[in-house]
């Protein structure tokens, strides 16, 4: 397969200068009651056998098609919060069944649960705590992935007529880290991966230690990040995590893309979201991804 690197610059005009999304804000779920011209909505409550966690799964189901392409989206509460008719129109054009994996909370983000679910287990450090996130537990990525692959995906495949060869995994920040972990350790689980502002800095760049080898089947990775990931309104907004983010090499994503494009059956792309900070890439990446899936 021909290898190449595609660097795109997408210009967004944005008036907010906060680097992180508001983690405590209550999610707006009005789309569930208001409906859409293009989608019906449903929710599932699932308790994972793998880790005992309770998940709330939000489904956006196209009204006028079948053989759906499927996108699995982490931080499902926050994704539901930003979905609007414009984004749903784009998703409908791509015949996307949207599976938003959320938590049983009114907040946009469950910081404790996502920190555990989205971070890998570092060998010999089973009790590792995330000192950059209020000493929360980490290392549950493999168990969370087991839930997605062995419990959630079979339920979706049994309920809907889907195209099993067009399944996508999307995640932002720690979710982006989880997307990369999934690609590097279980590349056959999805055909396309979208890692948005991935936390490459986590645990001193541990994700590089499990970076992908050659793949058996053609797979695509899209990495999107803002060109100002550590943008802050004032010095008081600077956090320890932000300093760690700023400590990774400026070309870390570019270098990773270069390495990955040397792997058999893996095509990797970098997309730069201009003038956007870490938190601002969350919503911006969704519409762009929907546009790219045809």
Known catalytic residues are 173, 229, 278
At residue 23's C-alpha, the angle toward residues 58 and 234, to 5°, is: 145
Q: Which of 260, 293, 289 is nearest to 3 (CA)?
A: 260
C-alpha distances out from residue 166 to 12, 64, 78, 283, 293, Å: 28, 18, 24, 22, 9
Q: What SS3 state is found at 12?
A: coil
Name the region of 245 (left: φ>0; alpha: ψ -120 to 50; beta: rest).
Answer: alpha
Q: What SS3 state is found at 23?
A: coil
Token digits of residue 93: 């054009």
What phi and psi, each to the nearest 5 degrees, are found at residue 125? -130, 55
At residue 153's C-alpha, the angle toward residues 23 and 171, to 5°, is: 30
Is residue 118 within 8 A of residue 141, CB to CB? The reply is yes
């Amino acid at each position: 397969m021909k290898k190449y690197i595609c660097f795109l610059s997408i210009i967004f005009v944005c008036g907010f200068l906060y680097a992180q999304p508001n983690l405590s804000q209550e999610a707006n779920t009005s789309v569930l009651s208001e409906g859409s011209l293009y989608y019906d909505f449903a929710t599932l409550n699932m308790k994972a056998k793998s880790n005992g966690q309770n998940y709330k799964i939000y489904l956006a189901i196209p009204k006028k098609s079948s053989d759906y392409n499927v996108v699995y989206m982490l931080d499902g509460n926050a994704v539901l919060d930003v979905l609007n008719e414009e984004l749903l129109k784009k998703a409908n054009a791509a015949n996307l069944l949207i599976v938003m994996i959320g938590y049983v909370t009114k907040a946009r983000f469950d910081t404790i649960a996502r920190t555990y679910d989205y971070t890998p287990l570092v060998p010999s450090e089973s009790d590792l705590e995330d000192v950059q996130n209020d000493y929360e537990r980490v290392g549950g990525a493999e168990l969370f992935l087991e839930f997605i692959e062995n419990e959630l995906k079979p339920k979706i495949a049994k309920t809907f007529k889907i195209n099993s060869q067009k399944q996508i995994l999307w995640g932002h920040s720690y979710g982006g880290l989880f997307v990369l972990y999934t690609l590097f350790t279980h590349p056959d689980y999805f055909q396309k991966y979208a890692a948005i502002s991935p936390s490459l800095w986590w645990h001193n760049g541990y994700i590089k230690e499990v970076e992908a080898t050659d793949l058996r089947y053609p797979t695509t990775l899209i990495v999107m990040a803002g060109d100002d990931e550590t943008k802050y309104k004032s010095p008081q907004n600077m956090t320890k995590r932000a300093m760690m983010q700023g400590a990774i090499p400026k070309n870390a994503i570019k270098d990773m893309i270069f390495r990955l494009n040397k792997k058999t059956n893996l095509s990797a792309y970098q997309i730069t979201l201009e003038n956007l900070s870490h938190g601002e890439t969350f919503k911006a990446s969704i519409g762009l991804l929907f546009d790219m899936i045809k």
